[in-house]
Amino acid sequence: MTAMGPRKVALVVGQLQLGGAERQLFELAVRLDRRRYEPVVVCLSEVSEPFGARLRERGVRMEVLRRATHRDPARAWRLARLLGREEPALAHSFLLVANAYVWMATGLTTLAGGRRLARIASSRTCIPPAGRWTLALHARAFRTADVVVANSQRVMEFTRDLYGVDESRFRIIPNGIDLPKVAGAEERAATRRELGVPDNAVAIGSVGRLAPEKNPSMLLEVMATLSARGGSLPPVTLVLVGDGPEKETLRRLAARPELKNRVVLAGARADVPRVLGAFDLFVTASSTEGMPNAVMEAMAAGLPVVATRVGGNPELIRDGDNGALVPYGDADALSAALAGLLSAPEQAREMGQRGRRRVESELSMERMADGHGALYRRALGRAPMIEEPELRAA
């Protein structure tokens, strides 16, 4: 323990359901150095599982501020009272809604005569908010933060340009990912049987919300193209892991004769690392990304990745090294990239291993937590926040 004891840090998020940002908050909270920091997680809605229970199991205290309505301005007052009672040294918000509420709450606390606390906002997506009023609100929350953490270079550029935030306020700390053990032959075979992947098929997998921005229907279009090539390629099965509004549309498309028994809609899974161990290739056709956890998990599993050249994907996938990048919306390019890897299985395996080694050396959970810890030390010490290259993405 330091001479002053651990400093309390409030980690504020809108919900704690399964999601990339929620997972990163959980991992940060449980990995922060307890000699320096005492984390308290504040969830701004009743949607607090599964990560709420996991936080409590790991000894991290959590406060839940339930909503009266979907947009509940009174939560800013309740959050201000909570921050006044807890007296954290620093408030770190995750995602746009939490950024806005923390900005409002800290302003109310200061007006009520409370001390000013350091405030860190987060930007983790390249999706703009809807409406000019909402844009102005989030711009104010970003511009008045002491620091804005972005999880990729592209997210930083997007946030800087859209919200008019000075670049000197940003720190880039990539998401972290655990390195799973490589599945043994028996475990891999059992998972493939459970999913319904034939023994002789190459499994192309994708993990993510079945929503328009993820463009899952294009993956079925590509699958039909690959299947039509017949004997020039090995048998292929496409496995989509996730749930969302596109599920029924995908179910109808998968019933077409050319795709029958070639597509598996596996639904949402709590054992994604195990499922990834059953895949041979990973693919994503998204229109937008921040720093996609699904791609990082695929890399950690040793899979070559074919991804669209959007958001943070080019910061993870080095074209021709650990996978391939294609233009968004180009089904022909996506089909060609997958066909190339299907035709060269040894090259594909080598690409996957290079991706796994990159996760191990550059994208670990420990590196993510250490980067935030270093940032907190500077914020709380009021040291200059300029030119800290060790916190920027490689």
Would the pLDDT of 391 be above 50? no
Q: Is residue 1 part of a domain?
A: no
Interval 53-61 mean pLDDT: 96
Please tell me the distance from the alpha carbon of residue 32 to that of residue 29, in angstroms, as a whole number.
Answer: 6
Q: How far is Cα 370 from Cα 68, in angstroms, rounded to an integer?
A: 37
Residue 291 scores a pLDDT above 50 = yes
128 and 214: one domain?
Answer: no
Residue 209 and residue 248 share a domain: yes
Taking residue 146's Cβ as centre, other Cβ atoms within 10 Å add up to 18
Residues 91 and 205 in one domain: no
Inter-CA distances, 358 with 131, 176, 311, Å: 39, 12, 19
Q: What does the pLDDT look like over 292-328, one tens digit per residue?
A: 999 999 999 999 999 999 999 999 999 999 999 999 9
Is the predicted pLDDT of residue 33 greater than 70, yes or no?
A: yes
Sign of CA dihedral 257, 260, 262, 266: positive
- Kindly state whether residues 169 and 215 are assigned to the same domain: no
The helix or strand, by DSSP H or E, that contains position 323, with its residue range, turns out to be: strand 323-326
- Based on the domain organization, do 346 and 335 belong to the same domain? yes
Q: Are residues 192 and 227 in the same domain?
A: yes
Cα–Cα distance between 317 and 314 in angstroms, integer?
A: 5
Give me the CATH number covering residue 65.
3.40.50.2000
pLDDT above 90: residue 237:
yes
When pLDDT is cut at 50, 70 and 90, the band that residue 1 belongs to is very low
State the Cα angle at 37 between 32 and 42, rounded to 5°: 80
- Quote the pLDDT of residue 182: 82
Domain that holds residue 229: 185-362
Asked if residue 2 is part of any domain, the answer here is no
> What is the chain's length?
394
Whole-model pTM?
A: 0.85
Residue 385 lies in a domain: yes
pLDDT, average across residues 345-365: 95
Average pLDDT score over the chain: 91
How far apart are alpha carbons 354 and 303 in whole angstroms? Answer: 9
Mark out the alpha helices in the chain (DSSP H runs): 20-31, 51-57, 74-86, 95-111, 132-143, 153-163, 185-195, 216-228, 247-254, 272-276, 293-300, 313-316, 331-343, 345-362, 365-381
Mean pLDDT for the stretch of residues 152-157? 95
Claim to verify: residue 155 and residue 32 sit in the same structural domain: yes
Average pLDDT over residues 141-159: 96
Cα 69 to its chain centre, rounded Å, is 27
| Confidence tier at 387 by pLDDT (50, 70, 90) | very low
Sign of CA dihedral 364, 239, 352, 336: negative
| Statement: residue 188 has pLDDT above 90 | yes
Query: Considering the domain boundaries, does residue 246 fall inside one?
Result: yes
- Write down the pLDDT at residue 270: 85
Residue 231 phi, psi (nearest 5): -70, -10
Q: Specify if 214 maps to a domain.
A: yes
Q: 250 and 156, same structural domain?
A: no
Rounded to 5 degrees, φ, ψ at 284 are -145, 140
Q: Is residue 112 in a domain?
A: yes
Does 89 share its domain with 158?
A: yes
Alpha-carbon distances of 42 from 28, 128, 132, 175, rounded to whole Å: 14, 24, 28, 20
Least-confidence region, from 88-92, 127-131, 144-148: 127-131
What local confidence, expressed as pLDDT, does residue 2 receive? 46
> Does residue 321 form part of some domain?
yes
- Say yes or no to pLDDT of 235 above 70: yes
Q: Quick check: is 258 in a domain? A: yes
Q: Do 343 and 207 fall into the same domain?
A: yes
Residues 167 and 195 in one domain: no
Region of poorest pLDDT, from 266-275, 292-301, 356-365, 381-390: 381-390
The residue with tokens 């996938």 is: 317
201 and 170 in one domain?
A: no
Q: Supply the pLDDT for residue 114.
A: 65
The total domain count for the chain is: 2
Q: Is the pLDDT of residue 71 over 80?
A: no
